[in-house]
Structure 1
Amino acid sequence: MKKAFLTLPLLACGLALTACAPTTQASTRTEAAPATAQANKPLISATGQPIHMALTPTFADQPGDVFKGLEQVGDPGVWVLRDRTRADVDGLKVEGRALREPINVVLIDLFAKTPQDALLRATAALDAAGLKPSDRYPHGYQAYLNGTFQPQVPAGQAFAKGVGSAREERLRLFGPWKTGDGYVFLAGIAAQNVTGQGRTFSDFMVTREATADALNNRTPFRKKGYVDLLSKVDTARETTADHDGCAVVLVARE
């Protein structure tokens, strides 16, 4: 697994990121056959309670599923998951292909004192950025970091902007995970077009950039750069559409 290309320093926490720009197109990755999953380990939530999920052989700590060595974060999974499989975007397809949902936002909080404090700070920031809790989207998703899975938070809800309009932006938040210096959240954000005929996929990157800018301008979370998670997929059966393979990283200033 490739390490991050360390070119853009994050002075607030010693993190350095790749110079992955909003319009940079990561090279398309060839899909490999999934490896056998690891032994079924207890999954622990932010509150220390076990999470019970079915073990499937389609996710493992292997190339294609986990990015190794992101400073101040560790080894994040690169996909939004459902029962340890790569989730699609609310059942939507692009040109008949499964639309896989990447992790494309990373939030790092070095100031939160507890998991509950970290969650309150993250949700308050999303609220200030215009994303409100909503139960209108499918739920029950997970994400992976450093050997453990965390469920979607708040339980049963995503965060949404533009609900009821022709374009809806929806973010799923996962975490927090405790790291050596603070707490980390992973998130997947996507936009959908809504018409009288139903929903279609709009984009990953436009809404990722708009949300990152809103967080940067209105909240303590500052945009520090991008990491290329190598999660761009374009095969006969799966796609990540306009996604460039990168996640934007934001670090709380205070």
Structure 2
Amino acid sequence: MAVLPAAATPVAPPLPGNVILGVLSQVFGVVNSLIAPNPGVPPTDPLHLLMFEFVRRIELTLGMPVVGTRTDFTNDPVIGTNPVSTSPGTPSASDAVQTPYGNIGTWLLESNGQISDFGGQKIDGKSLLEPINVIIVDPTSTTAAEATAKFNAKMTQAGFPALPVHTRGFQGTIDGETYGQQPAGGVDAYSNNFFLLPDDHARAFGPDPVQTPEGFVWTVAVSREQIGLLNGVVPTHVYTSYNAARDELASQLMQDGATLVGIVPLSNSVDSATQTTGDHDGYAIVIQLND
């Protein structure tokens, strides 16, 4: 396990704090999706290109999301110079990596047991897979019920309460056991913003007993999203970053008293001809909850 130096404390790009700016950000995000469905490929038609440049100048002036800006890669200071931890082959729902915290399933799984693909979103024509990117250790709880109550309380205190209007029914695996998602019930996910605004949202799996007389482990899939158009047509939440969301969750838990333990490679970064994990670098940040 690689241990983070003190200088590498997670610091994620902030979400819009002003509601008006947040709404404007959403409006421009939808406009951008309409004008340039593939941010990496500007339009070539003269009229389309004129509109592209006109909107781009307005957005630059107002500090809004800028059309034509790629969102599928984010440099992450947390991981530093560690190489990307890539998948050794074709990703499988059964993929798992042995770590000091157990045999960690490396993917967010849908209710049918398949790897989640962010609701069918594609980046450059590639399916977007959802990785596990946070591990949370609870060293003191003695029962699963106690661990679950503590986990939900800590997430809420850190600014990630269970909020509605998110898809649910996901699964994750630890030590060969399949766990349904927390938060349980409703259409909730842990989130740090109203669903119509850009937010970081998370689903957790566990609690799995650690290899000691007491304590439990959780795995988390967390991503940053905003309102956009799926396939340029259907309004939905669309991906913007895994790294930024991972760092934000870790930072907020630490501000609430949790301890940054380190990072572990999960070999779940993918960039093939047909699949991608966006800006994910294949690492999970490890956080320890404290009483």
**TM score, norm. by length of structure 2:** 0.66
Match among 172, 175, 178 for residue 203 of structure 2? 172
Distance of 2:260 and 2:119 partners within structure 1? 27
Q: In the alignment, which residue of structure 1 is the partner of 2:102?
A: 74
Match among 61, 73, 79 for residue 22 of structure 1? 79
**Is 1:130 equivalent to 2:125 in the alignment?**
no
Distance of 1:100 and 1:207 partners within structure 2? 15
Distance of 1:7 and 1:205 partners within structure 2? 17
Note if contact 1:25-1:245 (Cα within 8 Å) is conserved in structure 2.
Answer: no
Note if contact 1:191-1:204 (Cα within 8 Å) is conserved in structure 2.
Answer: yes
Displacement, 1:198?
4.2
Note if contact 1:158-1:171 (Cα within 8 Å) is conserved in structure 2.
Answer: yes
Within 5 Å, which residues of 2 pair with 1:82-121?
A: 82=110, 83-121=112-150
Distance of 2:83 and 2:165 partners within structure 1? 32
Q: Which has the higher helix share?
A: 2
Within 5 Å, which residues of 2 pair with 1:1-254?
A: 6-8=1-3, 21-23=78-80, 24-29=82-87, 31-32=89-90, 59-60=93-94, 65-68=95-98, 70-71=99-100, 73-82=101-110, 83-156=112-185, 157-181=188-212, 182-195=215-228, 198-219=236-257, 221-254=258-291
Note if contact 1:233-1:240 (Cα within 8 Å) is conserved in structure 2.
Answer: yes
Distance of 1:249 and 1:30 partners within structure 2? 22
Cα distance, 1:25–1:162 mapped onto 2, change above 3 Å = farther
SS of residue in 1 equivalent to 2:105: coil
- Count of aligned pairs: 208
**TM score, norm. by length of structure 1:** 0.75
Q: Which has the higher strand share?
A: 1
- The alignment yields a C-alpha RMSD, in angstroms, of 2.2
Distance of 1:98 and 1:244 partners within structure 2? 17
Note if contact 1:143-1:149 (Cα within 8 Å) is conserved in structure 2.
Answer: yes
The letter for the 1-side match of 2:122 is K
SS of residue in 1 equivalent to 2:262: strand
Note if contact 1:22-1:205 (Cα within 8 Å) is conserved in structure 2.
Answer: no
Q: Which has the larger radius of gyration?
A: 2
Displacement, 1:165?
4.5
Distance of 2:243 and 2:180 partners within structure 1? 24
Displacement, 1:7?
4.5
